[in-house]
Amino acid sequence: MSQITYVTEEGLKKMKEELNRLKTIERPSISNQIAEARDKGDLSENAEYDAAKEAQGLLELKISKLEDAVSNARVIDESKLDAEKILILSTVKLKNMVNKTIQTYTLVPEQEANLKEGKISVDSPVGKGLLGKKPGEVAEIKVPSGMVLKFEILEISR
């Protein structure tokens, strides 16, 4: 049984676009590679054919998993989220209590996390440690390395 995944509207759109690309571009491309390899003769000793068939199997598995994820995706209704505390889709301005740097992150579903874009997963240690906090509070978060990070919550926005 598949698990329900909560995503943003943007995240669902990206998943559907990727699924469409795999079906309309990648699938026909691999079919062509298989046909070309088949035309080269004896299939029992044809490494190109074997590689193309393996790539096809991996692609079909990826398509199947993505179809499953899209069918079990639920879009998060941002209007129903409490803006007073940190929740999924909150944009949080934090002050690192050790080096006094200020950072801004948006908490997103795991599959949408991208640190370069300032998006961290709500399932990450930092994301979990921030959930439920309010401005003015200090979050003490133990990370996998064993260190304890301290962040002061400066601001929450949507």
Angle between helices 47-71 and 27-38 (to 10 degrees): 160
Class of residue 83 by CB neighbours under 10 A (exposed 0-12, middle 13-18, buried 19+): exposed
Same domain? 95 vs 63: no
Residue 143 is predicted with a pLDDT of 85
Domain that holds residue 144: 79-157
Q: Which residues make beta-bridge pairs with 153?
A: 94
Helix (H/G/I), strand (E/B), else coil: 98: coil
pLDDT digits (tens, 9 = 90+) for 74-130: 888 777 766 788 888 889 999 998 899 999 999 988 888 999 999 999 889 999 999
- What's 28's domain CATH number? 1.10.287.180
Same domain? 12 vs 30: yes
Distance CA 85, CA 157 (A): 9
CB contact at 8 A, 90 and 106: yes
